[in-house]
């Protein structure tokens, strides 16, 4: 059967990655979490002081981009692909609120986007890929055969994120998580380079009141129909 490209875009904490991972597994496709790539660059920028308490030095980060190497490597224990930054497994660290607080600023830098988009296009060149992010259906793979756009209310998303962070043992306040979700929505949708918008041909999915199982079943069935016709 012909392989297709599946682009899943949407707001933060809409469950994109959960659905994308399940879908890739069911279809035997490769899953690429592009948010992890932006998060790893943001972690690098934090460590080097290009963002954070001392303000923003985007020129410094841009000049240093060639020293950043990103790789996904399968974790045999979890079965998922972990993000490696210059050979170091940073999968857990990139999910912290400290990184979430600066990632949208880093992701708004055009040079960062150019570097990552190029890598993402190479990863999907052979199709058979489910990629999630903010600009996959609009910029990375505008010709993707299936595009989904996920939304949910900000408070529902903040509750999900808050529970996830608590489960991981992070000591966070719900108000801070909600503020982060709202700030990221604002930066992601208003940045000049590739803002988060629904591609014209994307199917919108509001999952504020839908469980993961129901969502997955609908999306899986729909993808099978698209693959059949491809």
Report the interface residues with ligand DC, using CB under 6 A. 12, 34-35, 38-39, 103-104, 107, 133-135, 184, 188
Secondary structure letter of residue 54 according to DSSP: T
Q: Toward ligand DC, which CB reaches closer, 215 or 227?
A: 215
**Tokens read off for 149:** 């756009």
Of the candidates 126, 143, 129, the residue with the CA atom closest to the CA atom of residue 25: 129
Enter the tokens of residue 5.
Answer: 């490209």
Instruction: Indicate the residue among 29 and 184 with the shorter CB distance to ligand DC.
Output: 184
Which CB, 187 or 227, lies closer to ligand DC?
Answer: 187
How far is C-alpha 203 from the geometric centre of its chain's CA atoms? Answer: 18
Q: How far is the CB of 11 from ligand DC (least distance, A)?
A: 9
Using CA atoms, how far residue 138 sits from 13, 104, 183, in Å, is 20, 18, 22
Q: How far is the CB of 112 from ligand DC (least distance, A)?
A: 9
The CB-of-191 to ligand DC minimum distance in angstroms stands at 8
Whether the Cβ atoms of residue 68 and residue 44 lie closer than 8 Å to each other = yes
Measured from the CB atom, is 21 or 39 closer to ligand DC?
39
Q: How near is the Cβ of 132 to ligand DC at its closest, in Å? A: 7
Cα–Cα distance between 109 and 228 in angstroms, integer?
A: 39
Q: What distance, in Å, lies between the first and last C-alpha atoms of the chain?
A: 9
Given the complex with ligand DC, which of 4 and 117 has the nearer CB atom?
117
């Amino acid at each position: 059967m012909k392989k297709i490209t599946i682009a899943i875009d949407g707001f933060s904490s809409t469950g994109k990655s959960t659905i994308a991972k399940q879908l890739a597994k069911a279809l035997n496709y490769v899953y690429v979490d592009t948010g992890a790539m932006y998060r790893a660059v943001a972690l690098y920028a934090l460590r080097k002081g290009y963002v954070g308490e001392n303000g923003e030095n985007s020129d410094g980060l841009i000049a240093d981009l060639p020293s950043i190497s990103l790789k996904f490597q399968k974790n045999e224990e979890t079965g998922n692909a972990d993000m490696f930054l210059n050979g170091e497994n940073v999968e857990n660290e990139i999910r912290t609120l400290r990184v979430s607080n600066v990632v949208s600023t880093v992701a708004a830098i055009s040079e960062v986007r150019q570097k990552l988009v190029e890598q993402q296009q190479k990863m999907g060149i052979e199709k058979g890929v489910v990629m999630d992010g903010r600009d996959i259906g609009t910029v990375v793979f505008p010709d993707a055969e299936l595009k989904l756009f996920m939304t949910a209310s900000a408070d529902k998303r903040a509750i999900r994120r808050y529970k996830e962070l608590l489960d991981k043992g992070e000591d966070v306040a719900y108000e801070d998580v909600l503020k982060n979700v709202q700030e990221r929505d604002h930066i992601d949708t208003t940045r000049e380079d590739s803002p988060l918008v629904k591609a014209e041909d994307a199917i919108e999915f509001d999952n504020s009141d839908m469980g993961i199982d129901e969502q997955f079943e609908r999306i899986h069935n729909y993808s099978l129909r698209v693959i059949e016709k491809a």
